[in-house]
Structure 1
Amino acid sequence: MYCIYVLCVAGGSQGLPITQKYGPCSGSGHSQPPNPQEIFGRDESKVSFINSKFNQYAPENLKDHTPNNKQFGEDGNFLVDVAFGTPPQKFTLILDTGSSITWTQCKACVNCLQDPSRYFDPSASSTYSSGSCIPAVEDNYTTTYGDKSTSEGNYGCDTLILEPSDVYPKFQFGCGRNNKGDFGSGVDGVLGLGQGQLSTVSQTASKFNKVFSYCLPEEDSIGSLLFGEKATSQSSLKFTSLVNGPGTSGSEESGYYFVKLLDISVGNKRLNIPSSVFASPRTIIDSGTVITRLPQRAYSALKAAFKKAMAKYPLSNGRRKENDMLDTCYNLTGTKDVLLPEIVLHFGRGADVRLNGTNIVWGSDASRLCLAFAGTSELTIIGNRQQLSLTVLYDIQGRRIGFGGNGCSK
């Protein structure tokens, strides 16, 4: 569905606004979103990239292994506006919990992004200093993303302005001089919200205590990104523990956010999936992956229960196209008042996340509406489709993640 005039519904009264890159509320200048095959193709590349990172920690691969901390996966569906420097220079960045380096396109870039007229000008900021301001970090950086997009440049330090009341001095970010790949028109860089040393979360720890939350909006609404006390002031959240991922110990932090998924319910009936199914190689929450990936045994149980609950609706006979990973689809043309079963994700510590409507299905064409989950033999990944309109709070120091409903409503 393509809308010309859309009333964009804002999120909470506080926080950094989040928009979908291809939605009508985005100011990024996108007129034509990618088709489903392109989205699914990029999503598969992203998932393969994430799994390749953690496959290196499999027992047979640990010998003589040196992790490459310069590579991260990123999809780029959600955008935020931040500013750097004095006076502030404003840029639109991709929100990414799967990477740590924050960077923006800089003046005199050799290879520029699609909008070469927007770049950070170090000479125009009175508070800018070139090079790293974090000990033992080199002055230059190279970041490669899951779709082979890259950014290379030098680090700089300057004031980061998230909101007028959220200003952080001496923030280290990448000054992108050589940027290749399809980040999308109107996009100036990436806001890294992972757990690495250089992430926005780690660098602002003294001000925000390594706490942030977001609500990822549907295409015709606006979400919010909150830090510190603004994030923790939200109520009615259910928390699950952050756990160590493959290749980490109690004293180390994984770049991704790992949790324990224990079971799934469909229509108030638990599937009673053995917890061992999710135990290896574990579960991550990721803002860049679109479709949630479940272990094949869990997905098969979910699919069977969903089909049983949807038995009165006709299956779609449309032929699956290339890269289409969704295999449980319905033709609801002319059908009114479709009743979708509620799906509940049961995480550790009793954190039950209830999914309805757009959280569980994919498709704007009534002739093909699909269950928005897929099977995998590797990492379980909770994608952004299942996070839409939820409040997701990351408390890294408290080692927990919280979930709440209606995070994007006024």
Structure 2
Amino acid sequence: MEEKKAKAKAFLLFFFFSVFITLSTATKETQTLILHPLPSQPTLYWPELETDQPDPEPESASLSVSLHHIDALSSNKTPHELFTQRLQRDAARVKINQTGFGSQPGSSFSSSVISGLAQGSGEYFTRLGVGTPPRYLYMVLDTGSDVVWLQCAPCKKCYSESDPVFDPKGSRTFAPVPCGSPLCRQLDSPGCDARKKVCEYQVSYGDGSFTVGDFATETLTFRRRASVPRVALGCGHDNEGLFVGAAGLLGLGRGMLSFPTQADSGTSVTRLTRPAYEALRDAFQVGAARLKRAPEYSLFDTCFDFSGMTQVKVPTVVLHFRGADVSLPAGNYLIPVDDKGTYCFAFAGTMSGLSIIGNIQQQGFRVVFDLAGSRVGFAPRGCA
């Protein structure tokens, strides 16, 4: 009975999308898409604090922070390379969102939890691959701390571990984090190696253990070869304490640098369950039948050739929620994928039962969360 209800719910979902797009097409409901090239790499700007300014009065004090796009951390990348990186990050995040850490056997992203007794430790371990190609190492699981770290060569002082110490020179994906970067500033006590211009981290624990070294990003690989790129972690050259047997620690806390936080959010492209996506895509293709098609690109199976044009009329897409409709601007669902005028429909299908509304579709909207009432509100043109 429950299975029938689930199938009926899925059918109603994709039927609803299909009916809306068909009606939009029949009534000539379209909007104008202004064509823009792929954006270049954003720049980082950190204004100096003005120490000679008086402190604000308590009643008027406020807190503000600067937001910077993650692409600002990638140096000397072309717009096309940056876009490819975004899709790779997107796919990795979706994989984690759909299956979760430590998910059931048979999923594409999982990791076993094992006792550390065989390695001479009373901690719980997991085994995962670090770097490219992956080197499989034992890592302590710690839900009470955030920073992911492992022992790295060359060691100033390292404790005994079951596997050879990780050498970052043997990995193609190891990348030091620059001093003063947004990622470096997320550390509680960031430092800087002035000679190498590399961010340094240090973490101390209640039992007197500590780790000190370079802060970097690296790829982590789990069972079934599922990998998570650009995970921020410490490459420890001075490590002392009660971590015997393990190569390092996988921080599973709730802070900004914990593995779940870096991996569980940030999906760009909206994913819909396969029946819903196919109905939406097919209806959109009917409404866009007069537009010149282009070959598929990466995960996008509906693309168009807008080369030589400055604007174009496209079908309108609306997201229907209980009690509210969200009409999307054309730029929120048709996006450039190269510098040749190719635009693709920024939705994708998934075999999972989980649908995700990506941040491309949310751009330009103010989102309000009513936690007490379990409601979410949307307002157009609420932000830049």
Greater helix proportion: 2
Interval of TM-score (by shorter of Structure 1 and Structure 2)? 0.3 to 0.5
Give TM-score scaled by structure 2 length: 0.47
Larger Rg: 2
Give TM-score scaled by structure 1 length: 0.44
